Amino acid sequence: MPPKDGPNMTAIGQKIIILGCSGSGKSTLAKTLRELTGLPLIHLDNVWWRADRTHIAREEFDRRLGEILREERWIIDGDYSRTYEPRFRACDTVIFLDLSEEECMRGITERIGRKRTDIPWSEDRPDPELEELVRNYRRDNAPTVYGLIERCPGKQVLIFRTRTQVQDWLAELKGKEMENVYRIDRNTWRIEDGHVRFYLFCGEERAALIDTGMNRPEAKALAEKITSLPLILINTHADPDHISGNGAFEEFYMSPAEEENYRAHDGRGRLLPVREGDVIDLGDRPLRIIDIPGHTPGSIAVLDEKERILVSGDSVQDGNIFMFGRHRDLRRFAESLRHLEEFRGQFDAVFPMHGSFPVTPDLIGKLFGGAEDILAGRTSAVPVFVHGREVGLYRFDFAGFLCDLNRWPAGKNDRAAGE
Ligand SMILES: [Zn+2]
């Protein structure tokens, strides 16, 4: 049974404004609503700010906002209290994320260093001014929003006080069962699972899950609701955010070089080894395995030769690529990217497990250049905390690399690191 076409969105209108404090999750919600509704999405931060962190004049901003408001359909994401009034007048739906100060503080901390599409730069360090705004939001802004809600009747108003409420509402809109499941084309699905995703590829005779995510122990059951074909599992690698639903499979395809990593994460079942050049045919849909060690010892990419798609695991993506700690090897990673380039004529899109979906094949060359810059000490890292430990973030405009701190000091050669 294929997923439903989408929820009945007439309930939430065609002109939606999303308000709330920085860090409350406005942009994330806005993007999900765009996916569900197909409404054009405008992030006000992208209107106001320029890439060099200067901003346009207020008059110019107001003029552009006026143009947007005259359009028939939109989602407008952004607080900008000075222009609450015209947006309230023009919209049919108000979504107000009235989350606690602590929640919003956590929100602005978690996004540091993350590549974003809702603002023309990525924040690389805490911003005291922004923190001040978060501290004062409920005193300075929230009463104005509630005042406008009272003074502008006839709007649909949705107020959320926790992230869970937001999630529950979205789930209801989508139909709980198929929450975060998106159909890419006739026989390909993408399942979003927080900060990670995985895929379901169907052929004429079989279907393959590629990874099973982080919080989806029911991944197999979910796939069986989408397709009645016999189901196999292929894992791009065995980091814990990719194997949460493996337990429901007796066997799975994985590089044998990854087995140690898999068992270290309590991975169960029988490993069916796949290596460079192996082809798993789903029935008129051959999937070719490409070894790309580096992120982990047995990372693989899966090349869908018929649909011209490369599933890249964690190795080609525009988020922050984890290259710190045991198992990681940046030099092999760079070699693997060069190897992937050899297949460049055979795919048009890259499906990563993190970051934006999809990404274009030219990202491979950029990542290769970035890795080479780090290895040669041509760039330096900023310290950031990830999972409670301090690591170095090498931030490029196309992606980031999280590496052991001082592993490749800028200006020094890699050999000095002596590992
Ligand atoms: Zn991952």
pLDDT (tens digit per residue) in 234-292: 999 999 999 999 999 999 999 999 999 999 999 999 999 999 999 999 999 999 999 99
* pLDDT grade for 177, boundaries at 50, 70 and 90: low
Residue 18's nearest CA partner among 108, 85, 93, 122 is 93
**At CB < 8 A and 24+ separation, what contacts does 322-326 make?**
322/239, 322/295, 322/386, 322/402, 323/294, 323/295, 323/401, 323/402, 323/403, 324/386, 324/391, 324/392, 324/402, 324/403, 324/404, 324/407, 325/404
* pLDDT grade for 1, boundaries at 50, 70 and 90: very low
Q: Higher model confidence: residue 5 or residue 300? A: 300
Query: How far apart are the CA of 113 and the centre of ligand 1, in A?
Result: 17
What is the three-class DSSP state of 236? coil
Residue 126 has pLDDT above 90, yes or no: no
- If you ran DSSP here, which 8-state letter would residue 121 be given? S
For residue 114 the two structure tokens come to 């993350």
Q: 357-386 pLDDT, tens per residue?
A: 999 999 999 999 999 999 999 999 999 988
Residue 5 has pLDDT above 80, yes or no: no
Dihedral over Cα of 388, 389, 394, 400: its sign: negative
Query: How far apart are the CA of 74 and the centre of ligand 1, in A?
Result: 33
Query: How far apart are the CA of 216 and the centre of ligand 1, in A?
Result: 14
Distance CA 226, CA 189 (A): 9
Query: How far apart are the CA of 80 and the centre of ligand 1, in A?
Result: 35
Q: Which residues pair with 22 in a beta bridge?
A: none
Mean confidence (pLDDT) of the chain: 90
Query: How far apart are the CA of 95 and the centre of ligand 1, in A?
Result: 32
Specify whether the CB–CB gap between 84 and 19 falls below 8 A: yes
Query: How far apart are the CA of 244 and the centre of ligand 1, in A?
Result: 12
Query: How far apart are the CA of 169 and the centre of ligand 1, in A?
Result: 27
pLDDT > 90 in the chain, percent: 73
Query: How far apart are the CA of 270 and the centre of ligand 1, in A?
Result: 22
Q: 205-223 pLDDT, tens per residue?
A: 999 999 999 988 889 989 9
Specify whether the CB–CB gap between 214 and 196 falls below 8 A: yes
CA atoms within 13 A on the CB side of 328: 17
Query: How far apart are the CA of 374 and the centre of ligand 1, in A?
Result: 21
Query: How far apart are the CA of 266 and the centre of ligand 1, in A?
Result: 16
Query: 3 vs 32, 115, 281, 325, 414, CA distance in Å?
Result: 17, 30, 24, 39, 50
**Owner of token pair 């990719």:** 242
Q: Can you list the domains of the chain with their CATH numbers?
A: 9-174 (3.40.50.300), 180-417 (3.60.15.10)
Whole-number pLDDT of residue 383: 92
Query: How far apart are the CA of 386 and the centre of ligand 1, in A?
Result: 13
Query: How far apart are the CA of 242 and the centre of ligand 1, in A?
Result: 6
Whole-number pLDDT of residue 11: 57
Q: How many residues does the chain have?
A: 419
Task: Select the highest-mean-pLDDT range: 8-12, 76-80, 383-387, 413-417.
Answer: 76-80
Q: What are phi and psi of 180, to 5 degrees?
A: 65, 20
Whole-number pLDDT of residue 138: 92
Q: 35-70 pLDDT, tens per residue?
A: 777 789 999 999 999 988 899 999 999 999 999 999
* pLDDT grade for 414, boundaries at 50, 70 and 90: very low
Q: Higher model confidence: residue 419 or residue 42? A: 42
Taking a 5 Å cut-off on Cβ, the residues next to ion ligand 1 are: 239, 241, 314
Residue 79 has pLDDT above 80, yes or no: yes
Whole-number pLDDT of residue 374: 96
Query: How far apart are the CA of 214 and the centre of ligand 1, in A?
Result: 9
Whole-number pLDDT of residue 9: 40
Q: 278-322 pLDDT, tens per residue?
A: 999 999 999 999 999 999 999 999 999 999 999 999 999 999 999
Residue 152 has pLDDT above 90, yes or no: no
Query: How far apart are the CA of 11 and the centre of ligand 1, in A?
Result: 36
* pLDDT grade for 112, boundaries at 50, 70 and 90: confident
Among 3-12, 167-176, 340-349, 391-400, which stretch is predicted with the lowest mean pLDDT? 3-12
- Tell me what the mean pLDDT of segment 19-46 comes to: 91
Query: How far apart are the CA of 314 and the centre of ligand 1, in A?
Result: 5
- Tell me what the mean pLDDT of segment 16-40 comes to: 90
Name the pairing type of β-strands 349-352 and 382-386.
unpaired
Query: How far apart are the CA of 133 and the centre of ligand 1, in A?
Result: 33
Q: 129-138 pLDDT, tens per residue?
A: 889 999 999 9
Query: How far apart are the CA of 224 and the centre of ligand 1, in A?
Result: 24
Query: How far apart are the CA of 327 and the centre of ligand 1, in A?
Result: 13
Query: How far apart are the CA of 21 and the centre of ligand 1, in A?
Result: 29
pLDDT > 70 in the chain, percent: 95
Query: How far apart are the CA of 2 and the centre of ligand 1, in A?
Result: 27
Residue 411 has pLDDT above 90, yes or no: no
Whole-number pLDDT of residue 350: 98
Query: How far apart are the CA of 257 and the centre of ligand 1, in A?
Result: 17
